[in-house]
Amino acid sequence: MRKICYAFILLISFFNCENSDPTQFSEAALNDVFETLGGDQVAFREILEKYEGRTVLIDVWASWCSDCIKSMPDLKTVQDEYTDVAYVFLSLDRGQEAWKRGIEKYKVKGEHYYMLSGREGAFGEFANLSWIPRYMVVDKKGRIKLFNAIKPNDKRIKVLLK
Protein backbone atom coordinates (compact mmCIF):
# COMPACT_ATOMS: atom_id res chain seq x y z
CA MET A 1 0.00 0.00 0.00
CA ARG A 2 2.86 2.38 0.83
CA LYS A 3 4.34 1.86 -2.66
CA ILE A 4 0.99 2.64 -4.27
CA CYS A 5 0.69 5.85 -2.24
CA TYR A 6 4.23 6.85 -3.16
CA ALA A 7 3.56 6.17 -6.87
CA PHE A 8 0.35 8.21 -6.66
CA ILE A 9 2.17 11.15 -5.09
CA LEU A 10 4.84 11.02 -7.78
CA LEU A 11 2.19 10.93 -10.48
CA ILE A 12 0.38 13.94 -9.03
CA SER A 13 3.61 15.91 -8.68
CA PHE A 14 4.47 15.10 -12.30
CA PHE A 15 1.20 16.59 -13.54
CA ASN A 16 1.28 19.47 -11.08
CA CYS A 17 3.76 21.53 -13.07
CA GLU A 18 5.68 24.03 -10.96
CA ASN A 19 5.80 26.40 -13.93
CA SER A 20 2.09 27.10 -13.58
CA ASP A 21 2.87 30.50 -12.09
CA PRO A 22 2.24 33.27 -14.61
CA THR A 23 5.14 34.97 -16.35
CA GLN A 24 3.10 37.97 -17.48
CA PHE A 25 0.59 40.16 -15.67
CA SER A 26 -2.99 39.92 -16.87
CA GLU A 27 -4.51 42.88 -18.71
CA ALA A 28 -6.88 43.41 -15.80
CA ALA A 29 -3.97 43.52 -13.31
CA LEU A 30 -2.04 45.90 -15.57
CA ASN A 31 -5.07 48.19 -15.72
CA ASP A 32 -5.75 48.16 -11.97
CA VAL A 33 -5.37 51.63 -10.47
CA PHE A 34 -3.06 52.52 -7.59
CA GLU A 35 -2.46 55.79 -5.79
CA THR A 36 0.93 57.45 -5.32
CA LEU A 37 2.06 59.19 -2.16
CA GLY A 38 1.37 62.44 -3.98
CA GLY A 39 -2.26 61.50 -4.57
CA ASP A 40 -2.01 60.73 -8.29
CA GLN A 41 -3.69 57.66 -9.68
CA VAL A 42 -1.67 55.36 -11.92
CA ALA A 43 -2.35 52.06 -13.62
CA PHE A 44 -0.12 49.18 -12.57
CA ARG A 45 1.10 49.11 -16.18
CA GLU A 46 2.54 52.62 -15.69
CA ILE A 47 4.32 51.52 -12.52
CA LEU A 48 6.04 48.70 -14.39
CA GLU A 49 6.86 50.94 -17.37
CA LYS A 50 8.60 53.36 -15.01
CA TYR A 51 11.12 50.62 -14.18
CA GLU A 52 11.52 49.12 -17.64
CA GLY A 53 15.09 47.92 -18.03
CA ARG A 54 15.49 47.31 -14.29
CA THR A 55 14.79 44.33 -12.10
CA VAL A 56 11.87 45.04 -9.76
CA LEU A 57 11.12 43.53 -6.37
CA ILE A 58 7.46 43.99 -5.53
CA ASP A 59 6.48 43.85 -1.87
CA VAL A 60 2.76 43.65 -1.08
CA TRP A 61 2.42 44.66 2.55
CA ALA A 62 0.40 46.58 5.14
CA SER A 63 1.38 48.46 8.28
CA TRP A 64 -1.07 46.34 10.34
CA CYS A 65 0.58 43.09 9.20
CA SER A 66 2.92 41.78 11.90
CA ASP A 67 4.67 39.39 9.49
CA CYS A 68 5.29 42.31 7.13
CA ILE A 69 6.86 44.36 9.89
CA LYS A 70 8.94 41.44 11.17
CA SER A 71 10.31 41.00 7.63
CA MET A 72 11.45 44.62 7.27
CA PRO A 73 15.00 44.09 8.67
CA ASP A 74 15.59 41.23 6.22
CA LEU A 75 14.21 43.36 3.39
CA LYS A 76 16.53 46.24 4.31
CA THR A 77 19.45 43.79 4.16
CA VAL A 78 18.37 42.77 0.65
CA GLN A 79 18.07 46.44 -0.34
CA ASP A 80 21.58 47.15 0.96
CA GLU A 81 22.98 44.22 -1.02
CA TYR A 82 21.10 44.80 -4.29
CA THR A 83 21.14 48.55 -4.79
CA ASP A 84 20.39 48.59 -8.52
CA VAL A 85 16.99 46.91 -8.04
CA ALA A 86 13.77 48.94 -8.00
CA TYR A 87 11.78 48.29 -4.81
CA VAL A 88 8.05 48.76 -5.29
CA PHE A 89 5.75 48.59 -2.27
CA LEU A 90 2.04 47.96 -2.80
CA SER A 91 0.02 48.64 0.31
CA LEU A 92 -3.07 46.82 1.50
CA ASP A 93 -3.51 49.17 4.45
CA ARG A 94 -7.05 49.87 5.57
CA GLY A 95 -6.65 53.56 4.90
CA GLN A 96 -4.25 55.93 3.25
CA GLU A 97 -3.30 57.72 6.46
CA ALA A 98 -2.30 54.41 8.07
CA TRP A 99 -0.33 53.58 4.92
CA LYS A 100 1.61 56.85 5.04
CA ARG A 101 2.24 56.58 8.79
CA GLY A 102 3.50 53.01 8.31
CA ILE A 103 6.00 54.07 5.64
CA GLU A 104 7.36 56.75 7.95
CA LYS A 105 7.27 54.67 11.14
CA TYR A 106 9.07 51.68 9.63
CA LYS A 107 11.32 53.80 7.36
CA VAL A 108 10.34 51.83 4.27
CA LYS A 109 12.59 52.87 1.38
CA GLY A 110 11.38 52.50 -2.19
CA GLU A 111 8.47 53.49 -4.38
CA HIS A 112 5.09 53.38 -2.69
CA TYR A 113 1.61 52.76 -4.08
CA TYR A 114 -1.70 52.26 -2.36
CA MET A 115 -3.94 49.50 -3.72
CA LEU A 116 -7.21 51.35 -4.20
CA SER A 117 -9.06 48.20 -5.21
CA GLY A 118 -7.61 46.21 -2.30
CA ARG A 119 -7.18 42.47 -2.14
CA GLU A 120 -10.33 41.83 -4.18
CA GLY A 121 -9.31 44.12 -7.05
CA ALA A 122 -7.89 43.03 -10.38
CA PHE A 123 -4.27 42.99 -9.21
CA GLY A 124 -5.13 41.26 -5.93
CA GLU A 125 -7.19 38.67 -7.72
CA PHE A 126 -4.47 38.03 -10.30
CA ALA A 127 -1.82 37.68 -7.59
CA ASN A 128 -4.12 35.50 -5.47
CA LEU A 129 -3.21 37.49 -2.39
CA SER A 130 -4.01 35.00 0.29
CA TRP A 131 -1.07 36.04 2.48
CA ILE A 132 1.15 39.05 3.03
CA PRO A 133 3.90 39.93 2.93
CA ARG A 134 4.13 38.81 -0.65
CA TYR A 135 7.17 39.27 -2.83
CA MET A 136 7.39 39.10 -6.59
CA VAL A 137 10.40 39.61 -8.86
CA VAL A 138 9.95 41.14 -12.31
CA ASP A 139 12.87 41.08 -14.73
CA LYS A 140 14.20 43.90 -16.91
CA LYS A 141 11.78 42.99 -19.69
CA GLY A 142 8.72 43.05 -17.44
CA ARG A 143 8.38 39.28 -17.09
CA ILE A 144 7.43 37.76 -13.76
CA LYS A 145 10.38 35.63 -12.69
CA LEU A 146 9.14 34.89 -9.18
CA PHE A 147 5.42 34.96 -8.53
CA ASN A 148 5.13 34.00 -4.90
CA ALA A 149 7.57 34.37 -2.02
CA ILE A 150 6.63 35.21 1.56
CA LYS A 151 10.06 36.13 2.95
CA PRO A 152 12.44 38.74 1.56
CA ASN A 153 15.47 36.54 2.24
CA ASP A 154 14.03 33.71 0.12
CA LYS A 155 16.98 32.20 -1.78
CA ARG A 156 15.05 32.46 -5.06
CA ILE A 157 14.81 36.24 -4.65
CA LYS A 158 18.52 36.63 -4.13
CA VAL A 159 19.33 34.50 -7.18
CA LEU A 160 17.02 36.58 -9.38
CA LEU A 161 18.26 39.95 -8.10
CA LYS A 162 21.88 39.22 -9.09
Spatial contact of 45 and 142, defined as CB atoms under 8 Å apart: no
The structural domains of the chain, with segments of one domain joined by +, span 21-161
Say what the pLDDT of residue 1 is: 55
Say what the pLDDT of residue 5 is: 39
Residues 132-144 have pLDDT tens digits of 999 999 999 999 9
Residue 125 to residue 50: CA distance in whole angstroms: 23
Say what the pLDDT of residue 103 is: 97
Q: Mean of the pLDDT values across residues 9-17?
A: 40
Say what the pLDDT of residue 96 is: 95
What is the average pLDDT value for the chain, to the nearest integer?
89
Sort strands 111-115 and 134-138 into parallel, antiparallel or unpaired: unpaired
- Coil, strand or helix: which one is 87? strand
Strand order in the sheet with 33-36: 41-43, 33-36, 111-115, 86-91, 56-61, 134-138, 144-149
Residues 15-51 have pLDDT tens digits of 444 448 899 999 999 999 999 999 999 999 999 999 9
Report DSSP letters for 13-33, one per residue.
Answer: HHHS-GGGS-SS--HHHHH-E
How many Cβ atoms are within 10 Å of 42's Cβ, its own excluded? 15
| Beta carbons within 8 Å of 84's beta carbon, 6+ residues apart | 54, 55
The CATH classification number of 21-161 equals 3.40.30.10
Tell me the whole-structure pTM to 2 decimals. Answer: 0.86
Q: Mean of the pLDDT values across residues 86-111?
A: 96
